[in-house]
Chain A
Amino acid sequence: MDFQYTSFILSVVIASTPLLLAATGELVAERAGVLNLGVEGMMLVGAIAAFAVAVTTGSSTLGILAGVGAGVLTSLIFALLTLSFLSNQVATGLALTIFGTGLSALIGKAYVGMVVARLPQIHIPGLSDIPFFGPVFFGQDVLVYVSFALVAAVYWFLFRTHAGLVLRAVGNSHDAAHAIGFPVIKIRYLAVMFGGGMSGLAGAYMAIAYNTSWSEGMTAGRGWIALALVVFATWRPFWLVVGAYLFGSIMYLSLYIQGFGVHIPSQFISALPYASTVVVLVAISRDRKRIRLNAPASLGKTFHAAG
């Protein structure tokens, strides 16, 4: 029985981590007022880049770095179009997802069927051997710890540093921020690139930790769930952890229930994470007060500096 709990929790952690990574990046971009719906596309590009490099070099570290770099580059396309050429953020984000899905499939053709070494789980002698607590707290792969550290770092940056205050100010009112003299466009470029890097990292996690092989569209809508998580968390970093692990659990449960042969059509169970996303978002939207207090007021609005 004890073994079952442990493996359940470990599986949930692996399912939740890519959601948490991608959502943390998107949260920063949205706090700066940019709605990038291209998370799914950036994740896929990050995934194939990480997988290709990891397969070729045999190094997970290089693979992860390649994933982050590919995510940043993909997000730069979005930043250039929306921030410099003032295109509509929603349309451009959707296009970016389509672009990323196609590009990753194209590159990925050559890598179908290959297998990469799974990102190793750390092992601290003694600590990791404690029953239950050991594997759960001291036996995860390194990116799991990184994901928690990044949430804490983002919280600290946004709410404890002056630079973070400026970023939130830009998201709250870009006109006022411009009038005071902040470089709105530059700050948004950086925020979008951070979001891209995090999506790329989430994709890398999918390719070399969650899975060890590439398959087309392997993120399976996780980018969209990450976007929903940002709203679920009402733009507060620590709530992302709650949301990501809640959805991670539901995603894993849907596999688990199928494994048990419960007599529910499998399509219903597969739809569970997405259906619950919709339900949760509707429930959140009912609390208008919380949304209004935390939502960046300039979210999704194009900024055009007059003069």
Chain B
Amino acid sequence: MTDTPLLKLTGIVKQFPGCLANDHVDLTVMPGEIHALLGENGAGKSTLVKIIYGVLRPDEGEILWQGEAVSIANPNHARKLGIGMVFQHFSLFEALTVAENIALGLSDPKDREGLRERIVEISTNYGLPLDPDRAVHDLSVGERQRIEIVRCLLQSPKLLIMDEPTSVLTPQEVEKLFETLRRLASEGCSILYISHKLEEIRALCEKATIMRLGRVVAHCDPRESTARQLAELMIGTELKPPSAMRAGAIEGTPRLEVNRLTLVSDHQFGTSLREISFSVRGGEILGIGGIAGNGQTELMDALSGEVYAGKPQTILIDGVPAGHMGPSQRRSAGASFVPEERNGHGAVSAMTLSENAFLSGHIRHSLARLGLIDHGKTTAFAQEVIKVFDVRTVGPKAEARALSGGNLQKFVIGREVLQKPKVLVVSQPTWGVDAGAAAAIHQAIIELANEGTAVVLISQDLDEIFALCDNIAVIAGGRLSAPKPVSATSVSEIGILMGGISDPVGDSHAA
């Protein structure tokens, strides 16, 4: 062991138009250390990491790599130094094979010799099984992440940067990933781990640097802090205890019923839904867990009416047969939807917040008069969403894409919640969202349920499901397991269901 830090950043400044992303940031990573970088969205973590990886150049500041001053010109240069990075949104090419994708990340032609054999060797060595000849679009998210990790490992990195790596993994997969990371660290590779999942950071990391609004606000040993302390350092104020108090009583009659929903996916790599049945009563939150790509997208599309669900009786919204209805009619019937992808699906990126508020709110809030947009009412509605949900933005005239992920998500959820729907279907409401925003979103969902709305929460985050839901079901291979009360099940039981080990579909429920 040496005392020379592997990486030492001093006084890093990065200015974007209208925003100081990094304000004199210092960071020290020692060899073989698993170091957490914590912060809300917009705290400047991604900017800092991009500077380390050579994607961005700092305006000011010094980077010492193994004690020597370096200027990292581009990612190729970073990789040559021994820095590898696994991106949050994978930098993979869907149309290409695993081996081709990995070859693209290797700048040195020598590294590409005998590549396929080495991929197999490294992936089995580290417990990350991969078939080099499969096309990426065929793979699950977990497998895609393996590609990125193997790509980094092939270059025997000294520093591995991981940006929110576990948001798409099952608990079992997370455990495996941690084993791999611990093993790498024991072999001397440092790991810079970015996450907002505080429990994971406490389980994995030995040091943490906490950022807020572009500055480093604290260093600590996460193993000796509570998740709550970490969260409060991160958001800078006291964290409101999540009022998981479910006050509202669950009603007797179902608000949303799905009867034997079978849907052949017309997407080439999609998952067909098979005989899905469930019902949600007013005041109930039903969680649907599962690994990405097991039919969640298709289920969401079928529930929201973007894809017709066949016979009218297949889906009942508040007792009204809705299987044949499109999204607007279902909204009129009292349902609201928040799809997984906020940019481009939940909101139109290039439109302003008030235009986006109009798009889904005009029916229930009658924001249009004689076919013309009522601008006054629309702006007022957008303003209300911004105010009630504490959306940090310059105002209703801001374009949706100018908002950070967490803020846009608060806006999209707020827009639906304020419509007081009888049924709310949300998918991945806190994906890539910081702790502060996630808490606000969870709060809103709980309050809505307390007021008697039936909520379906599709999520890959089991912590979220266990914290919020009354009942839980798992979707795997397009089939839904029988919903169970949260109190009657466990994370590991759900994890096994997520792996697709069959559980008889709830016939009793369908009846």
Question: Which residues of A approach B to under 8 Å, CB–CB?
Answer: 162, 165-166, 168-169, 172-173, 175-182, 288-289, 292-294, 296-297, 307
Q: Which residues in B have their C-beta under 8 angstroms from that of A168?
A: 93, 95-96
Q: Which residues in B have their C-beta under 8 angstroms from that of A180?
A: 75, 91, 104-105
| Beta-carbon contact of A172 and B87 below 8 Å | no
Interface status of B510 (Cβ within 8 A of chain A): no
Give the contact stretch, choosing among B48-56, B167-175, B327-335: B48-56
Q: Which residues in A have their C-beta under 8 angstroms from that of B96?
A: 165, 168-169, 172
Interface status of B200 (Cβ within 8 A of chain A): no
**C-alpha gap A273/B3 in the complex (Å):** 75
Q: Which residues in B have their C-beta under 8 angstroms from that of A289?
A: 268
Q: Per-position contact with A for B45-78: 1 when CB-CB < 8 Å, else 0?
A: 0000010001111000000000000000011101
Interface residues of B in 415-435 (CB under 8 A from A): none
**C-alpha gap A192/B43 in the complex (Å):** 40
| Beta-carbon contact of A176 and B91 below 8 Å | yes
Of B54, B92, B268, which one neighbours A181 at CB under 8 angstroms?
B54
Interface status of B232 (Cβ within 8 A of chain A): no
**C-alpha gap A252/B78 in the complex (Å):** 57
Interface status of B107 (Cβ within 8 A of chain A): yes
Q: Which residues in B have their C-beta under 8 angstroms from that of A177?
A: 91, 93, 104
| Beta-carbon contact of A172 and B94 below 8 Å | yes
Q: Which residues in B have their C-beta under 8 angstroms from that of A178?
A: 55
Contacts A162-B109, A162-B112, A292-B268 hold; do A307 and B55 have CB atoms under 8 A apart? yes
Q: Which residues in A have their C-beta under 8 angstroms from that of B81?
A: none
**C-alpha gap A75/B168 in the complex (Å):** 43
Of B54, B55, B95, which one neighbours A294 at CB under 8 angstroms?
B95
Interface status of B139 (Cβ within 8 A of chain A): no
Q: Which residues in B have their C-beta under 8 angstroms from that of A172?
A: 93-96
Interface status of B275 (Cβ within 8 A of chain A): no
| Beta-carbon contact of B112 and A169 below 8 Å | no
Closest to A175 in B: B91
| Beta-carbon contact of A293 and B91 below 8 Å | no
Closest to A289 in B: B268
Interface status of B103 (Cβ within 8 A of chain A): yes
**C-alpha gap A297/B91 in the complex (Å):** 14
| Beta-carbon contact of B93 and A162 below 8 Å | no
Interface status of B100 (Cβ within 8 A of chain A): yes
**C-alpha gap A279/B52 in the complex (Å):** 53
| Beta-carbon contact of A181 and B56 below 8 Å | no
Q: List 16 A-B contacts (CB under 8 A).
A: A162-B103, A165-B104, A169-B96, A169-B104, A172-B95, A172-B96, A173-B92, A176-B90, A177-B91, A180-B91, A180-B105, A181-B78, A181-B79, A307-B16, A307-B50, A307-B55
Q: Which residues in A have their C-beta under 8 angstroms from that of B93?
A: 168-169, 172-173, 176-177
Q: Which residues in A have their C-beta under 8 angstroms from that of B76?
A: 181
Closest to B106 in A: A162
| Beta-carbon contact of B75 and A176 below 8 Å | no
Identify the interface centre among B57, B91, B112: most chain A CB within 10 Å of its CB.
Answer: B91
Interface size on B, residues (CB 8 A): 27
Do most interface residues of chain B lie in helix, strand or loop, or is the interface mixed? loop
Closest to B51 in A: A307
Of B78, B91, B268, which one neighbours A288 at CB under 8 angstroms?
B268
Closest to B151 in A: A180
| Beta-carbon contact of B75 and A181 below 8 Å | yes
B84 CB, min distance to chain A CBs, angstroms? 11
Which 7 A-B residue pairings sit nearest by Cβ, starting from the closest? A181-B75, A176-B91, A179-B91, A172-B93, A307-B56, A181-B76, A181-B74
Q: Which residues in B have their C-beta under 8 angstroms from that of A297?
A: 94-95
Identify the interface centre among A168, A176, A293: most chain B CB within 10 Å of its CB.
Answer: A176
**C-alpha gap A289/B103 in the complex (Å):** 26
| Beta-carbon contact of A181 and B107 below 8 Å | yes
Q: Which residues in A have their C-beta under 8 angstroms from that of B75?
A: 179-181
Interface residues of B in 359-403 (CB under 8 A from A): none
Q: Which residues in B have their C-beta under 8 angstroms from that of A292?
A: 268
Closest to B109 in A: A162
Q: Which residues in A have their C-beta under 8 angstroms from that of B95?
A: 168, 172, 293-294, 296-297
**C-alpha gap A288/B270 in the complex (Å):** 14
Q: Which residues in B have their C-beta under 8 angstroms from that of A179?
A: 55, 75, 87, 91
A155 CB, min distance to chain B CBs, angstroms? 16
Q: Which residues in A have their C-beta under 8 angstroms from that of B105?
A: 180
**C-alpha gap A292/B268 in the complex (Å):** 9
Q: Which residues in A have their C-beta under 8 angstroms from that of B109?
A: 162
B300 CB, min distance to chain A CBs, angstroms? 21
Closest to B14 in A: A307
**C-alpha gap A165/B87 in the complex (Å):** 21
A2 CB, min distance to chain B CBs, angstroms? 47
Identify the interface centre among B16, B90, B95, B103: most chain A CB within 10 Å of its CB.
Answer: B95
Q: Which residues in A have their C-beta under 8 angstroms from that of B91?
A: 173, 175-177, 179-180
**C-alpha gap A162/B105 in the complex (Å):** 11
B87 CB, min distance to chain A CBs, angstroms? 6
A306 CB, min distance to chain B CBs, angstroms? 8
**C-alpha gap A11/B103 in the complex (Å):** 45
A293 CB, min distance to chain B CBs, angstroms? 7
Q: Which residues in B have their C-beta under 8 angstroms from that of A165?
A: 96, 100, 103-104
Q: Which residues in A have their C-beta under 8 angstroms from that of B57?
A: 307
**C-alpha gap A176/B54 in the complex (Å):** 14
**C-alpha gap A18/B385 in the complex (Å):** 60
**C-alpha gap A200/B266 in the complex (Å):** 42
Q: Which residues in A have their C-beta under 8 angstroms from that of B103?
A: 162, 165
B183 CB, min distance to chain A CBs, angstroms? 25
**C-alpha gap A172/B76 in the complex (Å):** 20
**C-alpha gap A166/B107 in the complex (Å):** 11
Closest to B77 in A: A181
B222 CB, min distance to chain A CBs, angstroms? 28
**C-alpha gap A296/B92 in the complex (Å):** 14
Closest to B56 in A: A307
B399 CB, min distance to chain A CBs, angstroms? 15
Q: Which residues in B have their C-beta under 8 angstroms from that of A307?
A: 16, 50, 55-57
Q: Which residues in A have their C-beta under 8 angstroms from that of B104?
A: 165-166, 169, 177, 180, 182
**C-alpha gap A307/B79 in the complex (Å):** 20
